[in-house]
Amino acid sequence: MVQQISQAIGATIPNNTPHAVSVTLPTWEATVGYEEGQDWVVQKMSSGYPRFFIHAKIQELCKLLELNYARDDERCFIFPSYNVAKRVRAFVKSKTTLTSCNVRILQLSSPAPKNEEEATYRIEASIAVVFLPASEYSLGKQYWQHAGEGISSRLGEYFLDEMRSKLEVKPGKNKIHSVMSSERSSKRSSRSSINSTSQVNNEFTTFIEERFGRNLDLRKAKEAKEILRNRIASKIQEEITANDVYLTSSGMAAIFTAHQACLAVAPHKDEKSVCFGFPYVDTLNILKKWGAGVHFYGFGDDLSLNELKKKLEAGEKICSFICECPSNPLLKTPNMREIKELGDKFGFIVIVDETVGNVSNIDVLKYADIVTSSLTKVFSGDSNVMAGSLILNPKSNYYGELKEHFNKNFEDLLWDQDAIFLERNSRDFELRSKKINENALAVLKLFQDSKLLKDIFYPSISESRHHYDSIKNKDGGYGGLMSIVFKEEQDAVCFFNNVNCSKGPSLGTNFTLICPYSILAHFQELDEIEKWGVDRNLVRLSIGLEPTEELIGVLKDALDVASEQHEF
């Protein structure tokens, strides 16, 4: 395969990528071991998906901040602004079971550049540190995971490099806190290991930047963000400008920001929202944990929409309606035309997450009030930067109120270095998307010919294809995400363990990426998700840019190994 493939548990995907957004879980057993917290897996996890695994640089910065500023029995999380930190504090206080829960916020800034030369590599960076009781650490982690508003690994690395000398605790002046003393002593050797690893990674990164001419000039960040907004706006068939495109620090941050806007300005903002179709796990978590709650229509089909319509006609009010186009992992597409008509008639805001379809394949803005997307995925492709986007529909009935809300409340939290990487990664995203579409159709044919499979989920063969086709761009395709279910569990395990592709979380990468999705995303609720048609042994593939014949050969080899277990 074109992509160098790691089979080492916990290794970054791609290899040797300090800010990678995926991580290697090379076998079915390793994925289960990770979910169960087994030492033989967890202790090897040097990286992970950023909203679930806090990057080593951020962990190191947290430790220094705790050493310098934490009170007894306190831990910390780092966020990019004071406003985000206030939301974290409110969330922790609303969910804690403690009778008294003190959550403190500390704001810190790194030095501004002294001259024009320094401005090429230095910028005044600000962070907001949330200190909370160690017993409530899991609540802070929930916010970090669900809302997607934590600092990026590049911001953590930058702040650490800029402020390390001021944060390093001098010998004899250590303020040792009881909550950390045993942890620090047990991890002292790993700390030096992290430092040595960081040095190697920094040297590797410097080499790559110089080798390929991708040196980061921080003065270009504002221009990069403007290019990104215009690049996204130009792909929308509806007439919009870059002023209605907002960049966020992750795809989930875009969804969270959209939901927060609905809670502020929706006509029925005090009512529950609707989650339509089986969604990515944290979308549902956001609707459950912020606002009045959620009505969950997990099948996301025409029958479900008719059921909702009847309830609305009977007087039920809802705050907002959120769906994916198509859904992850079942690749269903809802009837967007009717959904928008219902939203206008009954006064709710329609949010569509088009991450899986992506803007080069589908155009959903005319049927939505807000469109969100994870730019981490196909738009970037390189699996080395987190970002998201949010688009307001200027023809929406709620545009005035939404625009006013965003003018007053929106913060640009996309770290400058991340924006520069994303701009460069995304220059050819349309061409990459087309190649991925072509590869996916070839893979689909391979799977359709296999006797091992009982289900294949892909937009072009879904019962909801007509809904997808109604939003598909003239030159668009059906995307690179595909899910398969084997007739026998042992075949799923055998196929996954033997396929010579990258294996881990995320999607939309330039290389094919595979995972046992249900195990990875819903391990604690496998019985529950099967009620919504999601098989516990479902395997999800994100098709990449490999030469088509080579990719087909790799997948066929794994199918053949699984076939050898049977006699047909």
Residue 456 scores a pLDDT above 80: yes
Say if residue 307 is in the same domain as residue 393: yes
Residue 198 scores a pLDDT above 50: no
How does pLDDT run across 306-325, given as a tens digit for each residue?
999 999 999 999 999 999 99
DSSP bridge pairs for 40:
none
Say if residue 298 is in the same domain as residue 397: yes
Query: Is residue 104 in some structural domain?
Result: yes
Report the alpha-carbon distance of residue 469 to residue 362 in Å, rounded: 9
Query: Is residue 285 in some structural domain?
Result: yes
Sign of CA dihedral 346, 347, 348, 352: positive
Residue 269 — pLDDT band, cuts 50, 70, 90? very high
Please tell me whether the overall predicted TM-score, pTM, comes out greater than 0.75 for this model: yes
Query: Is residue 14 in some structural domain?
Result: no
Cβ neighbours, 10 Å, residue 568: 5
Minimal CA–CA distance to 520: which of 332, 352, 328, 386? 328
Q: What is the pLDDT of residue 566?
A: 77
Say if residue 228 is in the same domain as residue 196: no
- Of 189, 211, 233, the one marking the end of a domain is 211
Minimal CA–CA distance to 488: which of 480, 477, 496? 496
The per-residue pLDDT of the chain, averaged, comes to 92
Query: Is residue 463 in some structural domain?
Result: yes
Say if residue 253 is in the same domain as residue 332: yes
Query: Is residue 60 in some structural domain?
Result: yes
Domain that holds residue 136: 56-211
Say if residue 84 is in the same domain as residue 152: yes
Are the CB atoms for 364 and 240 separated by under 8 Å? no
Number of domains in the chain: 3
Q: What is the pLDDT of residue 4?
A: 64
Residue 34 — pLDDT band, cuts 50, 70, 90? very high
Report the alpha-carbon distance of residue 270 to residue 282 in Å, rounded: 21
Instruction: Tell which wins on pLDDT, 238 or 340.
Output: 340
Q: What is the pLDDT of residue 555?
A: 98
Say if residue 65 is in the same domain as residue 143: yes
Instruction: Tell which wins on pLDDT, 3 or 296.
Output: 296
Are the CB atoms for 26 and 10 separated by under 8 Å? no
DSSP bridge pairs for 539:
484
Complete edge-to-edge strand list for the sheet that includes strand 74-79: 74-79, 126-133, 104-109
Are the CB atoms for 8 and 15 separated by under 8 Å? no
Report the alpha-carbon distance of residue 212 to residue 298 in Å, rounded: 46
Query: Is residue 314 in some structural domain?
Result: yes
Report the alpha-carbon distance of residue 111 to residue 122 in Å, rounded: 8
Say if residue 244 is in the same domain as residue 190: no
Say if residue 423 is in the same domain as residue 548: no
What mean pLDDT is predicted for residues 412-432?
Answer: 97
Report the alpha-carbon distance of residue 161 to residue 151 in Å, rounded: 15
Query: Is residue 23 in some structural domain?
Result: no
DSSP notation for 56-92: HHHHHHHHHHHHHH--TTEEEEEESSHHHHHHHHHHH
What mean pLDDT is predicted for residues 21-25?
Answer: 97
Q: What is the pLDDT of residue 206?
A: 47
What mean pLDDT is predicted for residues 95-116?
Answer: 97
- Of 181, 211, 241, the one marking the end of a domain is 211
Say if residue 342 is in the same domain as residue 418: yes
Q: What is the pLDDT of residue 352?
A: 98
Say if residue 486 is in the same domain as residue 497: yes
Q: What is the pLDDT of residue 147?
A: 98
Q: What is the CATH number of the domain that holds 334?
A: 3.40.640.10
Say if residue 387 is in the same domain as residue 459: no
- Of 178, 211, 244, the one marking the end of a domain is 211
Report the alpha-carbon distance of residue 374 to residue 481 in Å, rounded: 14
How does pLDDT run across 70-101, given as a tens digit for each residue?
999 999 999 999 999 999 999 999 999 999 99
Q: What is the CATH number of the domain that holds 440?
A: 3.90.1150.10
Which of 124-138, 193-207, 370-384 has the weakest average pLDDT?
193-207
What mean pLDDT is predicted for residues 11-17?
Answer: 93
Q: What are phi and psi of 350, to 5 degrees?
A: -100, 120
Query: Is residue 45 in some structural domain?
Result: no
Say if residue 475 is in the same domain as residue 553: yes
Q: What are the C-alpha distances in Å from 401 to residues 92, 106, 265, 349, 393?
A: 29, 33, 6, 11, 12
Q: What is the pLDDT of residue 171?
A: 55
